[in-house]
A and B are shown apart, each in its own frame.
Chain A
Amino acid sequence: MADAKPKPPILEVERLTKYFGGLAAVKDVSFEVREGQIFGFIGPNGAGKTTLFSIIAGALKPSSGKVRSRGRDITALKPFQLVQAGIARTHQIVRPFREMTVLENVKLASHFGRKNVTSDSAAEEHAMQILTWFGMETFAQKSASILSVGLQKRLEITRAMATEPDLLLCDEICGGLTHVETAAMLDWLRRIRDRGTTVMYVEHDVKAITAVCDRILVLNYGRKLSEGAPDHIQQDPAVIEAYLGHPPGRRQEG
């Protein structure tokens, strides 16, 4: 094992920068995500976490910098091409197809995801499997518009997982959830990781992030402030100063 050539990382971000007008939402950020990790991102409101995810998922074009997956340059790929490359995301503000049932929402992802199921019955079967895996099968025939916030967040993940990604980007999936729901959600993340999907996870809740992540990157004003194992992050003076040091009330909710 020691002699084996290390696999190129599932995600390699190199000096990524994104300007909105004069504002640098993401500035010179570089990092690597290894397969099998849960890789966390924290940072105050407006730190650039969602922007970073949107660039990786192809929804935004970076001003400069590169994104690679397993050595392949994926910077210029469109969102649907990234799905085929094995990268899927959830949205901070959930975006279910409200005129569809829960099952149809997931079926769409089964159809168009990496499995590329073309037959209707096969797609439905695949979607039901994923729904069942996430304990959502009882909601299959419900309209997506009537789900509770917690379930909508779960649908968001279920749908992304139905594309069969190797890398899942989760943007604040616990925002607005109760403690019990949050604990359950973190469990799902671990199970997703154990199932073979690498996870990138943004959350405001430092406790949640440190509980579940193998590695954490701290963003501040678009820049990388610190990166390392949870213990390392919690003891980094720069992080404590810029983020953890703030009175807790100020950084609640995003």
Chain B
Amino acid sequence: MSTSPAPLPIRLLAQWRTFAPSWMILAGLAVMPLLLSSPNFIRLLFVTLLWITTSVAWNLLGGFAGQISFGFAVFYGIGAYTTALSMNAGVNPFIAFLVSAITAAAASLLVGLPTFRLRGPYFAIATIGISEAVRVVMTNLSFTGGASGYRIVEHRAFRQLDHYYTALVLASIAVAFSVFISRTRFGLGLNAIRQDEDAAAGLGVNPYAYKLGAHALAAALTGMVGGVFSRYAAFIHPQGVFGFQTSVHILLMPVIGGIATIWGPVLGGVVFGIVEEQIIASFPEIHLFIYGSMLILIILVEPGGILGAFRKLLRRIHGRR
């Protein structure tokens, strides 16, 4: 009965059907800027790819492991500032992104060690507190310019496609990561923790260590997004990258798309990338209120998000399983 598993390339080939759509989307996104070269359109795609990445990253902890954090702005901001400071110190931007990943992951441990002793809503509230505390500290930190922000000086011509392809690679890494994790022992453990932490622990899972692990991976990805964004924007300030609305954005997307799935957070990122600027432009005063209302609405009406609603619809069409 026991069959030794086939080598990886064979297995991937055998699963080509599963991944064919992903490869097609990736190829489409790779050639997109060559076909539609409007800078505004590419900027929109760039921003959407960044949002997709944070959304998928957040989902590793908030979706797979079920630990709802309102504090991802900490990692986004730390990533942004790390890249900015590194680049101004003469570090190659791509090395700077990696440094951002490491500092953000390290920060996630500092945040996670105390907060993962808490559960459910208490964990969520603690992350808000920490996130706001970090923002206040950054607002008053003089060597990064405090509240007035920090500027990156890059002695290279600005090429939008550089930024775009960086974001595309990062988003692909995030999705691939998410697919990979969902198929491993680690992913199974996270899944069990989400459903019943105590039952999981009673079967040998170490919930504390697993949450810390998922948190660190999510933070590393989010930190890199912060870095890519800050290089693009060339100017960052605490109110923006460390702002509460950043945490809310990062959390809202996977919730909109469908938590604890592979494609839900991607979908949420796409939707959000498209509507975000419209919402902020049309309702500059109350956009956070709108996000809050959306969050409550989704949780009440369809906790599975768009993907969950879509699945229900399919099931109804095909009749009960």
- Give A contacts to B, CB under 8 Å: 57, 59, 78-80, 83-84, 88-89, 91, 95-100, 104, 107-109, 111-114, 118-121, 123, 125, 159-160, 162-163
Contacts and interface: CB of A to CB of B under 8 A. Distances in A.
A125 B3 CA distance: 10
B233 interface: no
Contacts of B195: 97-100
B198 A79 contact: yes
Contact of B204 (A84, A120, A121): A84
Nearest to B189: A112
Contacts of B203: 83, 88, 108-109, 112-113, 159-160, 162-163
A125 B204 contact: no
Interface in B186-201: 188-189, 191-192, 195-196, 198-201
A114 B3 CA distance: 23
22 contacts: A59-B198, A78-B201, A80-B201, A80-B202, A80-B204, A80-B206, A83-B202, A83-B203, A84-B204, A91-B199, A95-B196, A95-B199, A97-B192, A97-B195, A98-B195, A108-B189, A111-B204, A119-B5, A120-B184, A160-B202, A162-B203, A163-B203
Given A111-B185, A123-B185, A125-B1, A89 B192 contact: no
B2 interface: yes
Contacts of A121: 2-3, 5
Contacts of A78: 201, 206
B205 interface: yes
B318 interface: no
B183 interface: yes
A127 to B, nearest CB: 11
B191 A100 contact: yes
A59 B1 CA distance: 38
Given A80-B205, A120-B185, A163-B204, A125 B2 contact: yes
B192 A108 contact: yes
A125 B2 CA distance: 8
Interface in B1-34: 1-3, 5
Given A95-B196, A97-B195, A119-B5, A111 B202 contact: no
Contacts of A96: 199
Contacts of B183: 120
Interface of B: 1-3, 5, 183-185, 188-189, 191-192, 195-196, 198-207
A41 to B, nearest CB: 18
B88 to A, nearest CB: 44
Given A97-B195, A118-B185, A120-B183, A108 B200 contact: yes
Contacts of A159: 203
A113 B204 contact: yes
A108 B188 contact: yes
B223 to A, nearest CB: 29
B202 A59 contact: yes
B307 to A, nearest CB: 14
A11 B266 CA distance: 50
Contact of B202 (A88, A98, A125, A162): A88
Contact of A97 (B3, B191, B204): B191
Given A80-B204, A108-B200, A111-B189, 18 more contacts: A59-B198, A78-B206, A79-B198, A80-B207, A91-B199, A91-B202, A95-B196, A97-B191, A97-B192, A98-B195, A100-B191, A107-B188, A108-B203, A111-B188, A119-B5, A125-B1, A160-B202, A163-B203
Nearest to B205: A112
A79 B2 contact: no
Contacts of B200: 97, 108, 112
B191 A112 contact: no
Nearest to A107: B188
Contacts of B3: 121
Q: Kindly name the residue among A107, A111, A159 whose own CB sees the greatest number of chain B CB atoms within 10 A.
A: A111
